[in-house]
Structure 1
Amino acid sequence: MFAVYAKEPNQEKPLDSLVVGERPEPSVPEGWVRVAVKAASLNMHDIWTLRGVGIKPDQFPMILGCDGAGVLDDGTEVVLHSVVNAPGWQGDDTLDPKRTLLTEKHQGTFADYVIVPKRNAVPKPAGLSFAEAATMGTAWLTAYRMLFVKSGLKPGQTMLVQGASGGVSTALVQLGRAAGLRVWVTGRTEEKRALAEQLGAHQSFESGARLPERVDGVFETVGKATWGHSLKSLKPGGVVVVSGSTSGPDPSADLQRVFFLQLRVLGSTMGTRDELADLLSYLDLAGIRPQIGAELPFSEAEQGFQSMLDGATAGKIVFTR
């Protein structure tokens, strides 16, 4: 079957490991289902897989793609939940110490077919296209959990999103606006800030800019480059919710500010299968649609990977067939 995969880990030149070609069609074990993939979205996790992060060398070649939407053999249209739990796990999907993601142990979605546990195939709302649904499982689910499960923010309060144009950031802007929060964002370029305002941000600022006032919550996916600004932007008792560190994982903790102002620092990773179902229902009810920055055929996957490496994103990059 057709697939886009990583042939081997390559830390320095990840795209040299990217192959658009053929892989064996998967067999379907008991309790799993086969999904004919109609669309799948690109995540930074796919770049990390090409670099060999979070995956052992003997697990290559690995079909890429955490997210996807498609059709079961019986014709049911589904969205994929990419967190695969250990057999018998009970509780929050994201707290399972033996959990894994598609592309870490199990082959991913950038192919004609992918297999997942039956519970990981969530019914797709009819109002969402396959391309839109394919953005839900990682970026949008991460944003939903950060905002609605972790932050504790309420309508009328002010939130700051660091970085204006990535998949999680654009989702946070849209979700925050729909939930009745005042949404501020930072962005490196005028184009990125304009995109955030187009999606519903009330104000946008240059990266590191002094804000008109301190905020109730900050949403962090950038890390080292923005961490100091995030802490300085918070009101006493405010919260920063962290789900990534794309500019580096080693920010200065600034512990004096944390304890003196009684700031809360919360980690957030992905989300649960039930949260994904709630997210899909919420988008359907609110009429929200994800920002897709580029939609490309799977055969042009390398172009999408290069855009992500270059930081040339304006929402999610989606591959379709």
Structure 2
Amino acid sequence: MKCLAVLTSGGDAPGMNAAIRSVVRVGIDKGWQVMGVRHGYTGLITNDVISLGARDVSGIIQQGGTMLGSARCPEFKTEDGRLKALRVLNEHKIEGLVIIGGGGSQTGAHALSQMGFPVIGVASTIDNDLYGSDVTIGVDTALNIALEAIDRLKVTALSHERAFLIEVMGRDCGYLALMAGIAGGTEAIVIPEVETDPEALADELRSAYQRGQAHALVVVAEGAKYNAAALAEYFKKHCKRLGFDLRVTTLGHVQRGGAPSAYDRLLATRLSADAVERLTRGEHGVLVGFVKGEIKATPLAEVVANKKLLDLHLLELARMLAK
């Protein structure tokens, strides 16, 4: 019986457990023995590998996070670290590996693939910044958590006639901030892709106050040059009169937790099933993602060489809506 392994790497994302479950059960159905690698690439290097059966993944589809655990692994970036990983894979007679994760994880997948090992990536990151997939596992859940927070903060902002700077995750990509800002009807959006003039933002808040608005909300991506804390500090020092009393709320890792949405469960299940089917057919060295409404495979070489761009026309739409 051929042996297949699965690991989750990088930041956890709601839906990763659904992806693991799909790999295990579809793998068994296709005749594979399935192994799980714990704690991402670290587990590959340290031989932290377990056997997974159909019952081992019962009751996890609704759980956030990853039952296999995840970790950053600087050692895997070295050739020596990758050679250790290959020795572990060969020791267990593993003939295919499914790697569930985002950009850093798929860079590691590409490195293994270049060394001749059969690897398939599955697109999973709440930042939605991975080339090769229009939407990635975890995005829908994280976006809805941010939106719920915005809706709740709008209530208290209205009650106290305040402005809120709401910081969401997004180190290098403003997707969550942009989409949450549009869906939440906020007055302004700050993202890493577009440089923000804090003076211009202050003018927008003043304008909202002068138009008679009882509150104002600004969604800020954590990776923007001026994140929420930096903006608040700037306003405190340089903008004495905004009109509104200002507060800062940072959502942080709360966006990663909680039960995955139905969309993320279905996406994770479908992408991971497709990954196993491709390995069974002998296809590897690709990322499985969702492109233009269909499941597609993109060579890992293309994934790591390209940057996914944000549709900045949506930022202009958000500006027009914030009247």
- Both proteins in one fold, TM over 0.5: no
TM-score (norm 2): 0.36
**TM-score by structure 1 length?**
0.36
Choose between structure 1 and 2: higher helix proportion.
2
Give the structure with the higher percent strand.
Answer: 1
Larger radius of gyration: 2
